[in-house]
Structure 1
């Protein structure tokens, strides 16, 4: 059924790598949205302006800028991970 590489340790390692990849790709975007949201919330609390669009528009712009700046790096990381998975398929199938 499975090859000699398909062990519990291999599956756990693969799941761990996938979770770390997800965190490293989503981390900068989520941190940017969190930081911008925190700054806007403090400004809204001090000025008592409670407009929802004031909260969302800067987050969208910030996330877009982060994706523009880090998009190529994120794509390269995802491609390398996928290539490694595909390269291991012959070892798994054996």
Structure 2
């Protein structure tokens, strides 16, 4: 029973990490793809042209999704804090 609960906790934490990374990195990947297509079409090979917009979009994603991310992490830790005594005892 303990191994099953441990695997469920690992699975839930891993899934949470995937969701958080997707929310932050996903928009940056889309913007990077758009800028790469623009650079290929115009033959502009400037590194800052691709880096700066991705950085700005990533920061905006963190600002926009920050409360949701903190809520998700707090819910996970509250679940762990309340249920670990029941799982080990």
Normalised to the residue count of structure 1, the TM-score between the two structures is: 0.88
What are the within-5 Å matches in structure 2 for residues 32-43 of structure 1?
Answer: 32-43=27-38
**Shift >6 Å, 4+ stretches:** none
Query: In the comparison of the two structures, how many residue pairs are matched?
Result: 89
1:52 alignment partner in structure 2: 47
C-alpha contact (below 8 Å) 2:5/2:87 kept by paired residues: no
- Ranges in structure 2 where 5+ consecutive residues have no aligned partner: none
More helix by share: 2
What SS does the corresponding residue of 1:50 show, helix, strand or coil? coil
RMSD of aligned C-alpha atoms?
1.1
1:61 aligns with 2:62: no
TM-score of the superposition, structure 2-length normalised?
0.93
